[in-house]
Structure 1
């Protein structure tokens, strides 16, 4: 049976935060205490309000398989084209290794094409070598050096 994609709802939020925290890096930076930290609700509401953002829940037979956030960004560069940024990609540990990641990315890339995007981009923490290999397998190239400044 195929995967089902839908927009996340407020009722999904606790499960999504748990999914984000379900690895060694996420467990260090996410707060899974209940009630949820208000920052998650504020971020969720901002994402839902923004027409250039989509927070997708991925299900199979009513089980949460994964999630991802897609942001469409207009640019002046590349002749004023649109880009698609894919972030917050997670697959539930019970469903890893079954090809769902490839299916999720195929769906996200199709959404980007439909929006008229000319580039799909993402970032991955250098401490996630398996994720980096996965993205390279999908055809993503590490063409730029990324920088972050914690505030």
Structure 2
């Protein structure tokens, strides 16, 4: 029997598990810091995200166990006649649960949420080193239509 994936807005009680998933990753293990208690920076970021009506942090769960996470940011733009767009960030699935449709469920949820919020576009980035992730997003209908640039400060 297939388990049902429940997607819900994250609570502060989910934060430790979220950070644990972020560190359970080749790239994340180099930039994240999972320890108990969590560094205050994660709590501050969580509070900033959840207090902003244009940011949503959601988790995917099986039987109340957090197994996936993503953040969605809704941004108004002057371009596209003042249209809104959604940006998906920080998508992670528990390493023990990969390949079971959790990432797909999260992204489909985000697409539906962007439609509900009246967005004309949904976008995301993935590190060029994440070739599997790029193929995954392309299978879901995303196109590598732009070249993205970043500058670490």
TM-score class normalised by the smaller sequence = over 0.9
Do residues 50 (structure 1) and 52 (structure 2) align? yes
Secondary structure at 1:112 match in 2: helix
Which of the numbers 17, 32, 47 marks the counterpart of 1:30? 32
How does the TM-score come out when normalised to structure 2?
0.95
What RMSD in Å do the two structures reach over aligned CA positions?
Answer: 0.9
Which of the numbers 121, 130, 133 marks the counterpart of 2:132? 130
In the TM superposition, residue 2 of structure 1 has moved relative to its aligned partner by 2.4
Structure 2 residue runs of 5 or longer lacking an equivalent are none
Do residues 140 (structure 1) and 131 (structure 2) align? no
In the TM superposition, residue 149 of structure 1 has moved relative to its aligned partner by 1.0
Number of aligned residue pairs = 151
Do residues 71 (structure 1) and 73 (structure 2) align? yes
Structure 1 residue runs of 5 or longer lacking an equivalent are none
- Conserved in 1, the CA contact under 8 Å of 2:61 and 2:67? yes
Partner of 1:97: 99
1:41-76 superposed Cα distances (whole Å, 9 cap, x missing partner): 111110011000100011012222201001111111
1:85-125 superposed Cα distances (whole Å, 9 cap, x missing partner): 00010011111111222111111100000000010000101
Moved over 6 A (4+): none
Partner Cα separation in structure 2 for residue 102 and residue 38 of structure 1:
31
Partner Cα separation in structure 1 for residue 94 and residue 142 of structure 2:
22
